[in-house]
Amino acid sequence: MSPNVDEMKASKDVTGLITALGQKDLRISAATALGEIGDPRAVEPLIGLLKEGDIGTRLAAVAGLTKIGAPAIEPLLARLQDAEIRGGVVWALGKIAEQAQDTSLLPDLVDPIITVLEDRRGNVRSAGVEALGKVGARLDAPLVRARVEEVLTLALKDKDADARKEASTALEKMGKPSAIPVEQPVQVKRSAPARPARSAPLIFGKKPGEILVWVGVALGLIIGLILGDFWGDDIFDVIKGALATGLIFGLVFWLVGVVVYAILLSRSQKE
């Protein structure tokens, strides 16, 4: 027969309720009952529940620790180095800070919580930023409060969107309306459209060098044929001579075309 959580709560049977945390079907109700009783003996068992994968169980553990309050602070701080439950621990610390009646304990939470913001996991950093904001909102010491504001301002640039959002919200609650809105669109200054580069004039859609090379080849062939007697009596010698002359003239005219095009292009870009 399963133990009756309500009866144990009514009789403040802390030992029995701690034992009930070991039963999955009683875990949440037992954690809630322990929080309402507020006995410090329940702190460590409730912290142990932060390792559970079930979100409902973790929420019940945090709620229980929050109700126990100040006696849970030191044990929670001691477990911040446990990476497995760091997010839940800092979450609980933030909740306790939010509801604490004695705010003199809060400055001691600042530095330990700030270390959480170096965690590589975005969700853990987000929980740390949220907790730091809850602490900062209730701080009276000006220097400590200024340190919290400085760290939260840096958190506005965190890679995690939730962390940035929590930082912005926290700064607003601390009276810093000048905090940069998380979703503020970036204003892009529009510059005047670039002036298109001007090109040198073309001849029949071609660069001068492309036209002149063929003019040179044609002219060279004609001159080579006219000078046929110079190459000899054999027809093949005449043809070879004409081709050689055509190539030479073509190369010379192409070089002239390149120079002309470069001059025209330079002038057009200066206009």
Q: Which helix (H) or strand (E) holds 112?
A: helix 107-116
Eight-state DSSP code of residue 251: H
Q: Are 92 and 170 in the same domain?
A: yes
Give the Cα separation of 143 and 220 in Å (integer).
Answer: 92
In a domain, 88, yes or no: yes
Alpha carbon of residue 183 to chain centroid: 13
Which one, of 112, 115, 118, 111, lies nearest residue 160 by Cα? Answer: 118
Task: Let me know: does 69 contact 93? Beta carbons within 8 Å.
Answer: no
Which one, of 106, 61, 68, 64, lies nearest residue 87 by Cα? Answer: 61
In a domain, 125, yes or no: yes
In a domain, 75, yes or no: no
**Predicted confidence pLDDT, tens digits, the chain (271 residues):** 678 899 999 999 999 999 999 998 899 999 999 999 999 999 999 999 988 877 898 889 999 999 999 999 999 999 998 888 899 999 999 999 998 888 888 999 999 999 999 999 999 999 999 999 999 999 888 899 999 999 999 999 999 999 999 999 999 988 876 445 544 443 434 444 444 444 545 554 555 555 555 565 566 556 655 555 555 556 666 566 666 666 676 666 656 666 665 666 566 555 5
Domain boundary pick from 128, 151, 184: 184
Q: Are 59 and 108 in the same domain?
A: no
Diameter over CA atoms, the chain: 133
pLDDT confidence of residue 14: 93
pLDDT confidence of residue 54: 79
Q: Are 172 and 220 in the same domain?
A: no
In a domain, 227, yes or no: yes
Domain boundary pick from 151, 184, 217: 184
Which one, of 55, 57, 53, 56, lies nearest residue 21 by Cα? Answer: 57
Which one, of 100, 96, 70, 75, lies nearest residue 85 by Cα? Answer: 75
**Amino acid identity of 49?**
L
Q: State pLDDT tens for residues 199-227.
A: 545 554 555 555 555 565 566 556 655 55
Q: What's the total number of domains in the chain? A: 3
Q: Are 168 and 111 in the same domain?
A: yes
Which one, of 55, 18, 56, lies nearest residue 40 by Cα? Answer: 18
In a domain, 214, yes or no: yes
Q: Are 91 and 156 in the same domain?
A: yes
Q: Are 108 and 60 in the same domain?
A: no
Q: Are 88 and 42 in the same domain?
A: no
Q: Are 60 and 126 in the same domain?
A: no
pLDDT confidence of residue 191: 45
Q: Are 94 and 4 in the same domain?
A: no
Instruction: State the DSSP string of 204-247.
Output: TTB-HHHHHHHHHHHHHHHHHHHTHHHH-SSHHHHHHHHHHHHH
In a domain, 192, yes or no: no
Q: Are 177 and 95 in the same domain?
A: yes
Task: Let me know: does 170 contact 125? Beta carbons within 8 Å.
Answer: no
In a domain, 196, yes or no: no
SS3 for 180?
A: coil
Domain carrying residue 25? 1-68
In a domain, 197, yes or no: no
Q: Are 100 and 146 in the same domain?
A: yes
Q: Are 179 and 96 in the same domain?
A: yes
N-to-C CA span, the chain: 98
pTM above 0.75, yes or no: no
pLDDT confidence of residue 32: 93
Neighbour-count burial for 84-107, b at 16+ CB within 10 Å, e otherwise: ebbbbbbbbbbbbbeebeeeebbb
The CB density around residue 181, as the number of other CB atoms within 10 Å, is 11
Q: In this structure, what CATH number is given to the domain that contains residue 7?
A: 1.25.10.10
Domain boundary pick from 43, 68, 93: 68
Structure tokens, 150:
């400085």
Give the Cα separation of 117 and 163 in Å (integer).
Answer: 9
Q: State pLDDT tens for residues 14-37.
A: 999 999 999 988 999 999 999 999
Structure tokens, 7:
């009866």
